[in-house]
Amino acid sequence: MPGTPKIKIVDVPAGEAPLHIREAWVGLVLPIVGRKSFRVWTSGVLTGARTPWGRLWAALRGRWTKRDGFVVDAAAAIFLLAQVRPDAAKWWQDSAPHLIKARRRFLFEQDVCRPVEEP
């Protein structure tokens, strides 16, 4: 039975976090949600709505963007980031705690990551 599918971040992802924080993802292997990439609606990690009602209101106002990529549980990703770059993980915990508490997800676009093959 195959294990959890994973991706390796091979380039700096786009986003609202400072460049040095986004650079910290490079080289990290993360488990993905599902078994493949998806096209999903996204919003900014800092400027996006933080509540379900706020996300609905933002969607109705056209403030979301459709992107292709791999979906990763934000809390799990930050936990794994903390193992190699505690400073970067702390930035996420301090600047975007709503992503951890609300069980939100990150999207890593296809051009910055590669699927990891199971042995």
The secondary structure of the chain, three-state, reads: CCCCCEEEECCCCCCCCCHHHHHCCCCCEEECCCCCCEEEEECCCCCCCCCHHHHHHHHHCCCCEEEEEEEEEHHHHHHHHHHHCHHHHHHHHHHCHHHHHCCCEEEEEHHHEEEECCC
Q: Categorize the per-residue pLDDT at 1 as very low, low, confident or very high, splitting at 50, 70 and 90.
A: very low
pLDDT tens-digit map of 19-51: 999 999 999 999 998 888 776 656 566 556 556
Q: Is residue 109 part of a domain?
A: yes
Q: Is residue 59 part of a domain?
A: yes
Q: Is residue 1 part of a domain?
A: no
pLDDT tens-digit map of 69-112: 899 999 999 999 999 999 999 999 999 887 787 678 888 999 99
Residue 60 has pLDDT above 50, yes or no: yes
Number of structural domains, the chain?
1
Domain that includes residue 74, residue range:
6-116
